[in-house]
Amino acid sequence: MLDQVLAGGYRGRIYPVNPRGGELRGLPVYRSVADIPETVDLAVISTPRTVVPEIVEECAKRGIKAIVVITQGFADASDADGPRLQEEMVRRLAGTGARLIGPNTIGVINLYERVNTSFIGFERVPADTAMICQSGIFLLAAAEFTCGLGLGVDIGNAADVDFNQALQTLGEDGRVRVINLHMEGIRDGRRFMAVAGRVSRHKPLLCLKTGRSEAGARAAGSHSGSLAGEDHVFSAAFRQCGVLRVRDVEEMHYLNKTFLTYPAIPGRRLAVITISGGAGIAAVDACADYGLEVAAFSRETKEKLAAVFPAWMEVGNPADIWPAGMSRGYLEVLELALDAALADPQVDAVLAVSPAYLKPEDDPRLDISAAVNRAAARRPDKPLAVWSFGAHRGELAARVEEAGRVVVYPSPERAVASLAALYRYYHEIKTAPVPVPDARPVPDSAPVERILAAARRAGRTDLHTEALEVLRACGIPVLPWQHAADAAQAVRAAEQLGYPVVMKIDSPEISHKSDVGGVMVDLADAAAVTAAYDEMMRTVKKRAPRAPISGVIIQPYRPGGVEIILGAKRDPSFGPVLVYGLGGIYTELFRDVSFRIAPITREEALQMIRETRSCRLLGGFRGRPAADLDALAELVVRLGQLVIACPEIAEMDINPLLVGPHGAVAVDARITIAGALTPA
Amino acid sequence: MLDQVLAGGYRGRIYPVNPRGGELRGLPVYRSVADIPETVDLAVISTPRTVVPEIVEECAKRGIKAIVVITQGFADASDADGPRLQEEMVRRLAGTGARLIGPNTIGVINLYERVNTSFIGFERVPADTAMICQSGIFLLAAAEFTCGLGLGVDIGNAADVDFNQALQTLGEDGRVRVINLHMEGIRDGRRFMAVAGRVSRHKPLLCLKTGRSEAGARAAGSHSGSLAGEDHVFSAAFRQCGVLRVRDVEEMHYLNKTFLTYPAIPGRRLAVITISGGAGIAAVDACADYGLEVAAFSRETKEKLAAVFPAWMEVGNPADIWPAGMSRGYLEVLELALDAALADPQVDAVLAVSPAYLKPEDDPRLDISAAVNRAAARRPDKPLAVWSFGAHRGELAARVEEAGRVVVYPSPERAVASLAALYRYYHEIKTAPVPVPDARPVPDSAPVERILAAARRAGRTDLHTEALEVLRACGIPVLPWQHAADAAQAVRAAEQLGYPVVMKIDSPEISHKSDVGGVMVDLADAAAVTAAYDEMMRTVKKRAPRAPISGVIIQPYRPGGVEIILGAKRDPSFGPVLVYGLGGIYTELFRDVSFRIAPITREEALQMIRETRSCRLLGGFRGRPAADLDALAELVVRLGQLVIACPEIAEMDINPLLVGPHGAVAVDARITIAGALTPA
């Protein structure tokens, strides 16, 4: 490690410590931390794990404020000693005022100050990017993943310093222009969202979230619970706080390069200036895939291009400049076309498509580096990107990118996806107001508390009709209902509510009522209700013989309207999460659901509704009347307030929530009280 | 161009031709083709377009059998002269026995024989890959796109030689091991499928299909027609004939490298040997994304690894070898772990995750090239892949890949997706029997022809009840129906069919009946039918005032069962295409549809059903009875036979087709007769 510190060119004082003493690389080795003649800024510990806690305490006592523990085998170990040693270390650190990074880390890298605590050699490529990671490879390979590095922290097991502290600090560092996260999981997701929400308004935050596939395995009892899956929750949280999620390290590389190169993008209209018509078609496909528009050239641009194009060729976008270049010189026509497109008020960005079949020095007629850089320099307000291809793309890219004005991408998809992310950051994240969730007082929670407390006293934690009462208590419209313990009571209830009615089995252990014959609709009169009661009892007892049955629920039959499922669950990282989706069997079939961390704003509730495909059903799809989206959004906001106000609600569903032109009404609901969580 | 031919090292005789004569690069220039002293093998024409047809004829007359026309501005031009000149050229070629590639091409490249007709310089990297393309960049950039090239054809405007001829020829060339296609469109899609279906059993066919985004714009009158969209049809066709579709040129590069390097893969169980736990997690995510399994190590493998792992660390897959490597030498542990994993009968392929932070020569402790190549050489039957990262990935990759045994990928996603494609090719394409569509006689088409002919004579091309008759005539079960011109007839029909019934408006101009109030269900008695008739007439006349109404259709009401839409349309490239999907409003909402080129086998029909997400509805989802998939598949096959047998059927839908445990029955149908095609 000392070798690496020295190789990095660190210019401060270094004190090796080892009980054996002696000399190392010309430096005297101290036998203990206590022997060091001054209070150092940073201690880096790499010893067998058993002695780490003691050394940490020693460093803290010596007044060292920053400690890095490289050693592995703590919470990351599969034996019992590891976690125990980590706890001990944290205990010894507590109250000393010192902060600790690690254990199980390569520590910190600061290429501005030439500091690094890595014991592994790596290419130090300075760039104004930062990385916070849970695996050292993301710092050591930063030259590739993030196009270089300014500041980096491997939080390792995060026994003390975690994502949130690191992000806060790097967010405030004026030198860093892009911050990257490699995240396997997070402890305090809400604090992360608060910090990231602030930082993302100043600089792009890119996150590679791994461990996504294990999430799906988590079993949960409720309908929406089983749909959630941690990974969707992370995506929702990232969206809410302005973090751009990247799919893989290749995307991470190109997005860093993109954000480091282009100061902004004015809109999404792309011009494509291409050496090949076929390549232009591929670029148009990419625009459709990633949400850029193919610009319509202004008359001026068309005229400028027509002046050099052969007579048999119409000017369009993509503009295939090869035939023109053949007669008038490729580089001349290219520069003319780039200037024309960049000057066009109907164009926001330009993609130049040009090859590198030979080494640029061997093929000066196709060496576009000077031409594109001149064009880019004249219009720094619009990104000029290049898709290049051929055996020598790398060499051409190096030439083109040298001035830091233009990025060369390896495919049109890569180029367009990168420009689309640029658009998203500058138009949807940076300029968006930090969301302020609905600040009206949460619904009066006292009656809700009373209902929940009564249920708990009665030893019940899985609530059905009481869930409807809870909703009503906090102002959510609920379809009237009555409980009936026999057929006669059912008829009486139906008469009070008005025919036609719906009958549903009432059992705390039956979640999917219709699966066991526990739902009958459109019962028109007393005879129908009586017959239905008998039939339902028979069927349900046969299909769910062990479920206790306390009778049925009678509700008015309201056909029409769209069935929505709206729920909430508690995520281990982010706490209360709202789940919204199409109801009925289609929820599971198409997983057409959206998630948000509660509480949310009305605008976020509308976004949540709109990002499902089933949203079209609400907008007057195929002749249906348009639903009252405002009422629906209001209700989603309200549910968020409820689960924030009542932490004892572990999970809940409104299923179905009936949404129509005149509002939304809860038909059925379920609440699970904390302490009775279904097995995870 | 002459320069390029010479630079390519061609060793045959070359005869430049130009009316001015003289000398070029030391070769005498002939004034006309007729002057050349022998019959040459290949003529390459690059002159102004106006004289091309004449020269083509001259060449053919001189006995030249192969002609390449480089010149642009034919069918590719936007003026009227271009297409006219191309037609003239084809006319002059016809009957001469000569074949022509182009125009608007860079021609052919054969690096085995050092022949190329390109006038553009490019790096000639020989490899046993072939490329057939519609844009010259795919040949000139082959060093990147396909990792080199053996044989390549740019078919250009394909005035004569097209995809199918080129594919046939390259498919038969024993030197070529992977064939790539860059396809913008295809004229004879059925012939392509036949050729590709044969070739794909011998060597992988990879296709980059561009122009996919324009397809969606095609409007079509019928329900399934509007959903089709050319691009889905291409995907279906590729699947049916064993072509692997690649998303972009980056994927094309890595799949070529993968197929050139690995002879096969025995299964889908992957072992991950990693320098970093965090990187291992990313690899597991990739497996979930691309359909590989994370192998469970055998006891032997676990014991071999446990022997070198530290005591606090459990052995798992991914196996994080870093702690073991720290104490016992990284390269030693790596090779041991690779050998153990490759020898494990529960492992089919291995991914080694290892960095390149420094130049391999500067960091011999992490230079894995020798170790992985030794391990790979010992087990050539199982792919050993590497994910590497860091500033010097390129240099490490070059060292590792030199022996041609191991591929180094830039991300775990890239590695796993490539191995998954390898699996798909060797287990689902190469070994699959060439499908032989159901060979039973097509349903007796005479009665069908009679119905269609009668409708045509009556001037009707958009058929509704006659469509049901057609289905019945070819053995497809149809729900009984009766037409009724007034309320009294409707009651009589209902009494004959049996209550409850469904009433539907009968109008040739109303496709989406329920959108205009033209469907009423569950009519229980004569009073209900009479009331429904009056209400329907009122509503429909209000909502569709201009549609001619000939009365209503009465059918028995059959609730339950799953509503499916099954249709056929004619694709301009592939002809009759079958469309299958979930019926009702969800078809449009979720676009949960699958396509196949007709005719199809029973197995293909089942695949088609199974690849929709709604297929779960048919399998006994949430307590519903499982549907009769065999009957459904049989019906899909039958519809394919029908549209093949009756070319005058331009488009048809069965919507809905009701599928239940006792079979499938068509409820409603529509046929459009050719000649009355809805405007494209």
Q: Is residue A240 part of a domain?
A: no
- Orientation angle between helical segments A369-378 and A393-401, nearest 10 degrees: 30
**Stretch B51-69: mean pLDDT, rounded?**
96
pLDDT band, very low/low/confident/very high, at A123 (cuts 50, 70, 90): very high
**Stretch B218-236: mean pLDDT, rounded?**
54
C-beta separation of B281 from B287 below 8 A: no
Which chain A residue shows the shortest CA-CA distance from B518?
A623
Query: Over the Cα atoms of chain B, what is R_g?
Result: 32
Of B210, B243, B274, the one marking the end of a domain is B210
CA-to-CA separations, B639 to A264, B475, B477, in angstroms, rounded: 54, 10, 12
Q: Cα–Cα distance between A162 and B518 in angstroms, integer?
A: 63
Token pair of A84 as six digits: 């125990």
Q: Which of B47, B330, B357 to mutate to test the interface with A (most CBs of A within 10 A)?
A: B357
Residue B146 pLDDT greater than 80, yes or no: yes
Residue B464 pLDDT greater than 70, yes or no: yes
**Other residues' Cβ atoms within 10 Å of the Cβ of residue B428:** 11
What residues of chain B lie within 8 A of the CB of A144, using their CB? 389-391, 393
User: Per the CB < 8 Å rule, is A312 touching B623?
Assistant: no
What residues of chain A lie within 8 A of the CB of B514, using their CB? 622-623
Q: What is the pLDDT of residue B31?
A: 95
Q: Cα–Cα distance between A246 and A180 in angstroms, integer?
A: 10
Instruction: Let me know whether B553 and B565 are in one domain.
Output: no
Q: Is residue A232 part of a domain?
A: no
Which chain A residue shows the shortest CA-CA distance from B312?
A79
Of A82, A135, A512, the CB nearest to B622: A512
User: Per the CB < 8 Å rule, is A278 touching B210?
Assistant: yes
- pLDDT tens by residue, A250-262: 999 999 999 999 9
User: Per the CB < 8 Å rule, is A184 touching B311?
Assistant: no
**CATH number of the domain bearing residue B404:** 3.40.50.261
Residue B133 pLDDT greater than 90, yes or no: yes
pLDDT band, very low/low/confident/very high, at B6 (cuts 50, 70, 90): confident
* Least confident among A148-152, A384-388, A507-511: A507-511
pLDDT band, very low/low/confident/very high, at B623 (cuts 50, 70, 90): low
Of B210, B358, B592, the CB nearest to A282: B210
Q: What is the pLDDT of residue B81?
A: 94
Of B248, B278, B312, the CB nearest to A79: B312
Which chain A residue shows the shortest CA-CA distance from B124?
A391
Q: Is residue A231 part of a domain?
A: no
**CATH number of the domain bearing residue B540:** 3.30.1490.20
Q: What is the pLDDT of residue A310?
A: 95
What residues of chain B lie within 8 A of the CB of A314, using their CB? 78
What residues of chain A lie within 8 A of the CB of B140, using their CB? 355, 357, 390
Residue B226 pLDDT greater than 60, yes or no: no
Higher pLDDT, A213 or A310: A310
C-beta separation of A340 from A301 below 8 A: yes
Q: What is the pLDDT of residue A341?
A: 98
The DSSP H or E segment spanning A196 is: helix A189-199
Q: What is the pLDDT of residue A657?
A: 94
Which chain B residue shows the shortest CA-CA distance from A623?
B515
What residues of chain B lie within 8 A of the CB of A414, using their CB? 248, 250
Residue A428 pLDDT greater than 90, yes or no: yes
For chain B, helix, strand, coil in percent to 5 are 40, 20, 40
Instruction: Let me know whether B443 and B424 are in one domain.
Output: no
Instruction: Let me know whether A77 and A57 are in one domain.
Output: yes
Q: Is residue B252 part of a domain?
A: no
B511-516 LR contacts (CB < 8 Å, sep 24+) = B511/B221, B511/B222, B511/B223, B511/B670, B512/A622, B512/A623, B512/B223, B514/A622, B514/A623, B515/A622, B515/A623, B515/B543, B516/A623, B516/B540, B516/B543, B516/B544, B516/B547
Q: Is residue A55 part of a domain?
A: yes
Instruction: Let me know whether B183 and B198 are in one domain.
Output: yes
CA-to-CA separations, B248 to A192, A269, A301, B254, in angstroms, rounded: 36, 22, 30, 10
Give the A:B interface size as CB pairs under 8 Å: 225
User: Per the CB < 8 Å rule, is A621 touching B585?
Assistant: yes
Min Cα separation B302/chain A (Å): 15
Q: Is residue B231 part of a domain?
A: no
User: Per the CB < 8 Å rule, is B135 touching A279?
Assistant: yes
User: Per the CB < 8 Å rule, is A277 touching B135?
Assistant: yes
Instruction: Let me know whether B30 and B91 are in one domain.
Output: yes
Instruction: Let me know whether A505 and A584 are in one domain.
Output: no
How would you write A221-256 as a 3-class SS string? Answer: CCHHHHHHHHHHHHHHHHHHHCCEECCCHHHHHHHH
**Stretch B397-406: mean pLDDT, rounded?**
98
The closest alpha carbon to A274, from A303, A307, A315, A311, belongs to A315
**Stretch B416-427: mean pLDDT, rounded?**
98
Instruction: Let me know whether A174 and A267 are in one domain.
Output: no
C-beta separation of A140 from A106 below 8 A: yes
Residues forming a β-bridge with B311: none
C-beta separation of B165 from B274 below 8 A: no
Residue B79 pLDDT greater than 80, yes or no: yes
Instruction: Let me know whether A520 and A382 are in one domain.
Output: no
Q: What is the pLDDT of residue A301?
A: 98
For chain A, helix, strand, coil in percent to 5 are 40, 20, 40
What residues of chain A lie within 8 A of the CB of B512, using their CB? 622-623
User: Per the CB < 8 Å rule, is B357 touching A182?
Assistant: no
**Stretch A187-211: mean pLDDT, rounded?**
94
What residues of chain A lie within 8 A of the CB of B390, using their CB? 122-123, 140-141, 143-144
Q: Which of A81, A251, A312 to mutate to test the interface with B (most CBs of B within 10 A)?
A: A312
Q: Which of B133, B137, B361 to mutate to test the interface with A (most CBs of A within 10 A)?
A: B137
Instruction: Let me know whether A550 and A567 are in one domain.
Output: no
What residues of chain A lie within 8 A of the CB of B182, using their CB? 278
Residue B223 pLDDT greater than 50, yes or no: no
What residues of chain A lie within 8 A of the CB of B73, using their CB? 310, 312-313, 323
Q: Is residue B663 part of a domain?
A: yes
Instruction: Let me know whether A399 and A326 are in one domain.
Output: yes
Q: Cα–Cα distance between B391 and B166 in angstroms, integer?
A: 42
Residue B163 pLDDT greater than 90, yes or no: yes
C-beta separation of B408 from B388 below 8 A: yes
Quote the percentage of chain B above a pLDDT of 90. 77
Residue B440 pLDDT greater than 80, yes or no: no
C-beta separation of B572 from B677 below 8 A: no
User: Per the CB < 8 Å rule, is A136 touching B617?
Assistant: no
Which amino acid appears at position B542 of this protein? K
The DSSP H or E segment spanning B637 is: helix B629-645
Residue A594 pLDDT greater than 50, yes or no: yes
- pLDDT tens by residue, B646-670: 999 999 999 899 998 888 999 999 9
Token pair of A581 as six digits: 């989706």
User: Per the CB < 8 Å rule, is A143 touching B184?
Assistant: no
What residues of chain B lie within 8 A of the CB of A392, using their CB? 123
Q: What is the pLDDT of residue B460?
A: 85
The count of structural domains within chain B is: 4
User: Per the CB < 8 Å rule, is B512 touching A136?
Assistant: no
Instruction: Let me know whether B406 and B470 are in one domain.
Output: no
Which amino acid appears at position B355 of this protein? P
Q: Cα–Cα distance between B287 and B273 in angstroms, integer?
A: 14
Of B169, B188, B210, the one marking the end of a domain is B210
Q: Residue B336, class by beta-carbon neighbours within 10 Å (0-12 exposed, 13-18 middle, 19+ buried)? A: buried
- pLDDT tens by residue, B330-370: 999 999 999 999 999 999 999 999 999 999 999 999 999 99
**Stretch A29-46: mean pLDDT, rounded?**
95
Min Cα separation A454/chain B (Å): 33
Which chain B residue shows the shortest CA-CA distance from A183?
B278
**CATH number of the domain bearing residue A85:** 3.40.50.720
**CATH number of the domain bearing residue B632:** 3.30.470.20
ipTM reported for the complex surpasses 0.85: yes
Q: What is the pLDDT of residue A187?
A: 86
The closest alpha carbon to A66, from A35, A99, A88, A92, belongs to A99
**Stretch B212-224: mean pLDDT, rounded?**
39
Quote the percentage of chain A above a pLDDT of 90. 77
Q: Is residue A486 part of a domain?
A: yes
Instruction: Let me know whether B497 and B359 are in one domain.
Output: no
Q: Cα–Cα distance between B593 and B571 in angstroms, integer?
A: 16
User: Per the CB < 8 Å rule, is B516 touching A589?
Assistant: no
Residue A600 pLDDT greater than 80, yes or no: yes
| φ/ψ of residue B623, rounded to 5 | 85, -5
The closest alpha carbon to A150, from A191, A115, A200, A188, belongs to A115
pTM beyond 0.90: yes
Min Cα separation B146/chain A (Å): 10
Pairing type for strands B108-110 and B115-116 reads antiparallel
Q: Cα–Cα distance between A176 and A203 in angstroms, integer?
A: 8
Q: What is the pLDDT of residue A444?
A: 74
The closest alpha carbon to B310, from B331, B324, B325, B321, belongs to B324
Per DSSP, the three-state class of A597 is strand
Residue A679 pLDDT greater than 80, yes or no: no
Report the Cα B313 to chain-centroid distance in Å.
46
Of B429, B445, B468, the one marking the end of a domain is B429
Which chain A residue shows the shortest CA-CA distance from B522?
A522
- pLDDT, averaged across chain B: 91
The residue segments making up the domain with residue B387 are: 259-429
User: Per the CB < 8 Å rule, is B389 touching A145?
Assistant: yes
- pLDDT, averaged across chain A: 91
Report the Cα A189 to chain-centroid distance in Å.
11
